[in-house]
């Protein structure tokens, strides 16, 4: 089988992608601080911000394709650690595109819906970007830098993702579930909207992009929903206690990184190519007993 290099394999999306990709690929997955061990995946410890180490990785693996997921994805961390996060989110990404260009191999990059300001949703691939926080700015720089170095790069803008926890990472919903089970107060925003997708569905979208896309593609789910509405659905489908679930407003909470109000994605292009998310209810029903 051909070799697929996946950076950030220890992350939530990376773990789900490795599980699916190994059906068709000989998968090599990188990690940095969080060691991983997956049947069918060759795990490699690499600091992707070290260009020498990155170049050595490509020479060692000789990949036939690359999906680049590794990132510092906490908006608050990026806002307070601009240099450290820039090295991973921007510089390393551009270097990976350059190395893929040297080999003329497919390259897919996971960007974010946070490249938009949230004022004119739903967002298509052709809509102008205007991030409101540093994480979004870094992803915009990475998108442009990678496409400049290697125009054939596929830029996949990812939505909020959820699903079963991996051995090394959780999605945003695991803390929600634990707090509800412990009957602690869980205050979720009624004024922040996204188009969530499961980690499994998002991974399938990335593999689709590897085959069919050069340029931009959005991989959101089909449903626009607030965090509070998602919490209500969690309670209903998973049979969780609802006493602690409270409605709040994003605008009333001060965070290091500003957040856009509605970065819902229009993923019509992906749908036309075969991307087929299940409904949020169906995805959560499939997770019963696993979360």
**What is the CB neighbour count within 10 angstroms for residue 145?**
18
207: enclosing H helix or E strand: helix 199-212
**Claim to verify: residue 45 and residue 102 sit in the same structural domain:** yes
Instruction: Quick: pLDDT tens for 110-162.
Output: 999 999 999 999 999 999 999 999 999 999 999 999 999 999 999 999 999 99
pTM score of the predicted model? 0.97
Find the farthest-apart pair of alpha carbons in the chain and give their distance in angstroms, rounded: 56
149: enclosing H helix or E strand: helix 134-149
**Cβ pair 196, 253 in contact under 8 A:** no
**Claim to verify: residue 21 and residue 157 sit in the same structural domain:** yes
**Claim to verify: residue 182 and residue 73 sit in the same structural domain:** no
**Cβ pair 180, 242 in contact under 8 A:** yes
Please check the confidence at residue 63 and state whether its pLDDT lies above 90. Answer: yes
Percent of the chain topping pLDDT 70: 100
Cα 5-173-74 angle, rounded to 5 deg: 55
Question: Is residue 291 in a domain?
Answer: no
Task: Please compute the mean of the pLDDT values over residues 238-246 and round it to a whole number.
Answer: 94
Please check the confidence at residue 52 and state whether its pLDDT lies above 90. Answer: yes
At 251 the pLDDT is 85
Instruction: Quick: pLDDT tens for 26-51.
Output: 999 999 988 899 999 999 999 999 99
**Cβ pair 108, 154 in contact under 8 A:** yes
Question: Is residue 89 in a domain?
Answer: yes
**Claim to verify: residue 50 and residue 68 sit in the same structural domain:** yes
- State the DSSP string of 82-115: HHHHHIIIIIHHHHHHHHHHHHT--EEEEEEGGG
282: enclosing H helix or E strand: helix 280-286
For residue 67, what is the domain's CATH number?
Answer: 3.40.50.720
Please check the confidence at residue 290 and state whether its pLDDT lies above 90. Answer: no
- Closest Cα to residue 193, out of 234, 242, 160? 160
Question: Which structural domain, as residue segments, surrounds residue 228?
Answer: 170-195+223-264+279-286
Measured in whole angstroms, the distance separating CA 76 from the mean position of its chain's CA atoms is 16
């Amino acid at each position: 089988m051909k070799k697929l290099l996946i950076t950030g394999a220890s992350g939530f999306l990376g773990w789900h992608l490795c599980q699916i990709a190994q059906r068709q690929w000989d998968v090599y997955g990188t990690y940095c601080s969080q060691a991983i061990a997956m049947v069918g995946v060759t795990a490699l410890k690499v600091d992707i911000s070290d260009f020498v180490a990155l170049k050595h990785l490509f020479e060692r693996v000789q990949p036939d394709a690359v999906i680049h997921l590794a990132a510092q994805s906490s908006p608050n961390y990026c806002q307070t650690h601009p240099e450290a996060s820039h090295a991973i989110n921007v510089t390393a990404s551009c270097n990976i595109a350059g190395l893929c260009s040297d080999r003329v191999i497919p390259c897919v990059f996971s960007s974010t819906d946070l490249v938009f300001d949230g004022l004119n949703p739903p967002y298509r691939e052709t809509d102008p970007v205007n991030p409101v926080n540093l994480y979004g700015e870094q992803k915009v720089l990475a998108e442009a830098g990678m496409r400049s170095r290697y125009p054939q790069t596929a830029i996949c803008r990812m939505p909020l993702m959820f699903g079963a926890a991996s051995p090394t990472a959780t999605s945003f919903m695991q803390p929600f579930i634990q707090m509800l089970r412990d009957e602690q107060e869980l205050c979720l925003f009624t004024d922040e909207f996204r188009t969530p997708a499961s980690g499994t569905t998002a991974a399938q979208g990335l593999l689709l992009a590897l085959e069919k896309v050069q340029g931009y593609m959005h991989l959101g789910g089909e449903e626009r929903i607030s965090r509070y509405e998602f919490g209500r659905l969690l309670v209903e489908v998973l049979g969780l206690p609802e006493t602690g679930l409270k409605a709040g407003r994003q605008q009333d909470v001060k965070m290091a990184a500003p957040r856009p109000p509605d970065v819902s994605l229009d993923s019509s292009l992906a749908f036309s190519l075969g991307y087929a998310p299940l409904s949020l209810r169906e995805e959560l029903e499939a997770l019963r007993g696993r979360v």
